Amino acid sequence: MGMGKRKRWWLPELAGIGLLLIALVVIFLGGQSNHFALYFEDTFITTSAPIDRCSSRHPETPHDKLLGGLLSPDIDEQSCFSRYKSSMFRKPSPFSVSPYLVEKLRKYEELHKKCGPKSDLYKRAIDQLNSGQNTDNAECKYVIWTQINGLGNRMLSLASTFLYSLLTNRVLLVELTTEMRDVFCEPFPGSSWQLPPDFPIKNLLLKYGTDSPESYTVMLKNKTIPGDSNIRPESLPSLVFFNAVAFNWRMENHLFCEDDQKILLKFNWMVVKSDGYYAAALFLLPAYRNELRRLFPVKESVFHHLGRYLFQPANPVWNIIERFYRTHLINSDEKVGLQIRQFREEPIPFEDVYNRIIECSETENLLPKLDQLNHDNSTPIIDKRISVLVLSLSSEFYDMIKAMYYEKSTVSGEMVAVYQPTHEREQDSQAKFHNQKAFAEMFLLSYCDKIITTATSTFGYVAHGLAGSKPWVLRTLNRLMKEPGPACVRSMSVEPCLHSPPIIECKENVRIDPTEVEPYLRQCDDAPPMGLKLYDLV
């Protein structure tokens, strides 16, 4: 009994002391919040609940889950969590969606539903394919995309093939091998874009190549078909292979000539293989220019709109993205994304690349400057949290940048946290989880306020394209390292670069430079003097 009384006597006092200590800590944190931050596994530890600063930064702009009409509302949210949520973490698009593009997408979705897998018209088209003979006036025509190279290349070529399908009224079907399953959501309501497993031709990627008899250029060379745009459709084979893979840094002849496109339009079945952003080359064709102008009044918005329409992360990928963003980035006042790609064919010492990153950052004011003199009380304090997202196959750059901000404070007193989601060491595009993580990192990079990428990196193209942001491009290619010039340049266009533009030789002995066809088609600014890119500033 006495023991119980003693407990009741001192427990309230202990509780009071505890409350007093908590109050003192809160007062201390409140008074000193500008002066320190605690880190645990690179995560800010704060006394306040998480705040979605992304939404508070644009309070006047409600969340537009349909992206200005780009997306159809007719897909079940449970089948694709990201479809109507992924834009919550990204700034509003700088480009409006043209009403004509919205109309075109809705019409395409109806066509895909009518002609897609499991439809009667699809079964009829398969019968025609099996016959080995083309037909005239087919109600449904198809283009089948096959994948090659890394995820960035695949996404750029797939977006290009979808644009080609819009221009030519073809239904897009995608050969998704095991490593590409559960990476993207299905983009079209009511019908799948996946090539059915019972499609009569197997292993399209391996079956069709430069010397395949189904290749359009081989058909012309072997005189299997005449190069006459007036040829009757029923006299053509049932399938044509459109080879848009870079060959000796140039695409094959004939693919972007007016008369040849007229012949290609007559094939009911087409297989496309590409490793690059050949959407830019479609602007070379006079027959498509007016349609492209109506679809994309702003030239540099092509991939931005097509990418956001086509590429929504599948649920396993979205779980990675949302979990990382809410854990590490949501409380940031500013997010800086740094994507570093080191090419095996162009090895450059780590120190040289790192020095370029630091030089670029200092010149362009991309990262907070360090206080080299270690000032104490004289340092002005700014209540600003900056998150630096490092994306690289190696961990060395992350380690160096993290150590840099761990060892020294910033001149203005910003709190800086450095993160790296993964470091895979090697690119393994044949592994599904690798592709899922790569896509998650592309999305996370697209959520950053400032984006720094590596010249010619398709990973970087996809990320800043989805963001609608002009990146700072690190000039870290061998030949660029040897040339005088800045460590990085600000891109003048959001568009990706087509590294290997086609040779335009539609008439014998008459060769046209693709960068001289239209003023908005010019060499790529991230790796001159190569490539082809769409610009709005002339």
Q: What pLDDT does residue 63 have?
A: 74
Return the exposure string of 214-253: e unless at least 16 CB atoms fall within 10 Å of the residue's CB, then b.
bbbbbbbeeeebeeeeeeebeebebbbbbbbbbeeeebbb
Q: What pLDDT does residue 157 have?
A: 96
Cα distance between residue 308 and residue 287, in whole Å: 26
Q: What pLDDT does residue 378 have?
A: 55
Q: What pLDDT does residue 8 have?
A: 42
Cα distance between residue 256 and residue 47, in whole Å: 60
**Positive or negative: CA dihedral 123, 126, 131, 133:** positive
Query: What residues pair up with 300 in beta bridges, in sequence order?
Result: none
Q: What pLDDT does residue 504 have?
A: 84
Q: What pLDDT does residue 253 have?
A: 63
Q: What pLDDT does residue 208 have?
A: 92
**Complete DSSP assignment for 284-325:** T-HHHHHHHHHH-SSGGGHHHHHHHHH-PBPHHHHHHHHHHI
How many CB atoms are located within 10 Å of the residue 8 CB?
9
| Helix residue ranges per DSSP H, 385-521 | 396-407, 432-446, 458-467, 478-482
* Element housing 169 (H / E): none
Cα distance between residue 137 and residue 132, in whole Å: 16
Distances (CA, A) of 424 to 427, 438, 509: 7, 10, 48
What residue type is 380 in one-letter code? P
Tokens of 14: 């202990």
Domains of the chain (ranges, CATH numbers): 97-299 (no CATH), 315-534 (3.40.50.11350)
What residue type is 311 in one-letter code? F
Q: What pLDDT does residue 59 have?
A: 33
- pLDDT tens per residue, range 168-204: 999 999 999 888 999 999 999 999 999 999 999 998 9
Can you list the residues of the chain whose pLDDT is less than 70?
1-62, 247-253, 345, 375-380, 424-430, 478-481, 537-538
Longest dimension (CA), the chain: 110
Its pTM stands at 0.87
Residue with tokens 């109507």: 84
Cα distance between residue 379 and residue 358, in whole Å: 22
Q: What pLDDT does residue 246 have?
A: 75
Residues ≥6 apart with Cβ < 8 Å to 394? 342, 423, 425
Classify 234 as helix, strand or coil.
helix
